[in-house]
Amino acid sequence: MGRDNGKMIRTKDLTFWQKLYLPEVFKGLSLTLSQMFKPKFTYMYPEERFQPPSSFRGRPILVEENGVERCVACGLCSRVCPALAIEVQASETELEKERYPVRFEINMVRCIFCGFCEEVCPEEAIIMSKEYELVFSSQEEAIFGKERLLTPAEQVRERLEFLRNSR
Amino acid sequence: MDILIASTKIAVVLAAMLTSVVFLVLVERRMSAFIQNRIGPNRVGPYGLLQSVADVVKLLMKEDIVPAKANKPLHDLAPIISIAVAMTTFAVIPFGNAIELFGTTIKLQIADVNIGILYILAITSLGVYGLTLAGWSSNNKYSLLGGLRSSAQMISYELSMGLAIIGVILMAGTLRLDVIVEKQTEYLLGWLPAWNIFLQPVAFITFFIAAFAETNRLPFDLPEAEPELVGGFHTEYTGLKFGLFFLAEYMNMITASAIVVTLFLGGWHLPYADMLGLSGFALSILQVLTFCGKIVLVLLFFIAIRWTLPRFRYDQLMSLGWKVMLPLTLANALVTALILLAF
């Protein structure tokens, strides 16, 4: 339906039964009532949780292998982070030319879960986990240090495999 | 003794209505959830049965806010009018046949008025004062628009409501609701119950549509159309006063269903119930349960319609009321009168 010089023009005319309106009401009713018995989409949240696929970008974590982090403190993740959420402080290890992060902090209030840090990391040291339940009661609590970021590689195997297959 | 019986009936009916409102709200929320492939509230109590109780407690604890330049007395009066009207309308509806108890015959009807239908029409038109005053006294443009819309809508649809009932009144020859129900307990052609829905289908449809408009239910909920008017007439109401409007809306729904059942669906009449060979008392109880069951079915239909149809535009509402419903009901009354005159 459109207007032309103040005159109404119907591009599609209703049939007699549609103008009667009542049959259409019952058509609508049969649709909604048939929907009533279809399976529901709701998760019963605290008891039943969403199990994300491997492609899910949850909270970023640091991969821990044989008790030490893979991270070499190159600082690329910190540079690429659009939200400036990552802070890395590097130091040298006993080995020659090897560095490690003394301090590695991600501010989870700032993090936007873009996954750039994971993409840029040359060591596959920082990756996105499946964890999505992030609740804090203070700003300080939202800053994750190394001790909360480090996760054994076995726990994030699925994501590591996904990254290798998709690269 | 009479006062005792009457007050018992009032207490029972009011308690039944208030409790059914509590569950009606839950049923509406669960049913809408199912229609939208959701689950709906199921946390408070078993199957979420106590959800409405929690909501009422929440409303009770809310602050009562009155806008700065509102007309305070009218602002307080409006929800009272709404709830009073919603509570009194049910008084004349017979919810069962006369019952024999302890040697006395008790009519299952609070007020046995000989102008029952007239009473219902009069009281329901008072209900519009509640909404209009709420809109007027709030000192808010959206409330005022909602109040204006409600008055215009009520007046337009009350006309066709009354004219639809005329067909039924002509058939029964009385304004007494108990007699109208009794007339419907006969059988047509020996097997079809003589409910008015079969004898007056046009009146049934028009009355039902008008009932939607009178109770402000979707597709005719223009007085409180959320997307256009914030909350319509109850925008400036909080806490218990808002709760009263809410309660009144659902009680009106129950009453409207009861009127539809009484006038068109045979009231408490259960077809072929006398073949079961029950005693008088058991039969009466069965009839009251039948009445309740019919009301529940009509209410479910009300809810299903709400979650199926979109809201009417205001001009569509008016043209439906004046150009379609009014001529249709007038013609129906005329044809009914002519047929009755001929036979």
One-character DSSP codes across B145-169: HHHHHHHHHHHHHHHHHHHHHHHHH
| Mean pLDDT value of segment B76-96 | 87
Domains in chain B: how many in total? 1
State whether CATH 3.30.70.3270 applies to domain A60-166. Answer: yes
Q: Please tell me the predicted confidence (pLDDT) of residue B237.
A: 86
8 Å CB contact of A28 and B205: no
Amino acid at B316: Q
How does the average pLDDT of chain A come out, rounded? 86
Which among B30, B218, B220, B308 is the top mutation candidate for probing chain A, defined by the most A β-carbons within 10 Å of its own β-carbon?
B308
Contact B304/A at CB under 8 A: yes
Phi first, then psi, for residue B199 (nearest 5°) are -90, -30
Phi first, then psi, for residue B251 (nearest 5°) are -65, -40
| Mean pLDDT value of segment B322-336 | 90
Q: Are B96 and B268 in contact (CB under 8 A)?
A: yes
Terminal alpha carbon distance of chain B: 45
8 Å CB contact of A32 and B37: no
Q: Using CB atoms, pick whichever of B31, B37, B309 lies closest to residue A28.
A: B309
Calpha distance B106→B100 (Å, rounded)? 6
pLDDT digits (tens, 9 = 90+) for B279-295: 777 888 888 888 899 99
pLDDT digits (tens, 9 = 90+) for A16-46: 777 778 888 888 889 888 888 888 888 888 8
Residue A160 has pLDDT above 60, yes or no: yes
Question: What is the extent of the structural domain holding B123?
Answer: 2-342
Residue A1 has pLDDT above 50, yes or no: no
The CA distance from A40 to the nearest CA of chain B, in Å, is 5
8 Å CB contact of A44 and B39: yes
CA A157 to chain centroid, in Å, comes to 18
What single DSSP character describes residue B50?
T
Q: Using CB atoms, pick whichever of A22, A32, A44 lies closest to residue B308.
A: A32
Q: Please tell me the predicted confidence (pLDDT) of residue A5.
A: 64
Which among A25, A32, A47 is the top mutation candidate for probing chain B, defined by the most B β-carbons within 10 Å of its own β-carbon?
A32
Calpha distance B244→B81 (Å, rounded)? 10
* CA gyration radius, chain A: 27
Q: Choose the weakest-confidence range: B88-92, B170-174, B274-278.
A: B274-278
Calpha distance B214→B243 (Å, rounded)? 19
| Mean pLDDT value of segment A101-122 | 91
| Mean pLDDT value of segment A99-115 | 91
pLDDT digits (tens, 9 = 90+) for B149-194: 888 888 888 888 888 888 888 888 888 888 888 888 878 777 778 7
Burial of B136 (0-12, 13-18, 19+ CB in 10 A): buried
Q: Please tell me the predicted confidence (pLDDT) of residue A116.
A: 92
User: What three-state secondary structure class fits B293?
Assistant: helix
Q: Using CB atoms, pick whichever of B35, B39, B307 lies closest to residue A42.
A: B39
Write down the domain spans for chain A: 60-166
Burial of B32 (0-12, 13-18, 19+ CB in 10 A): middle
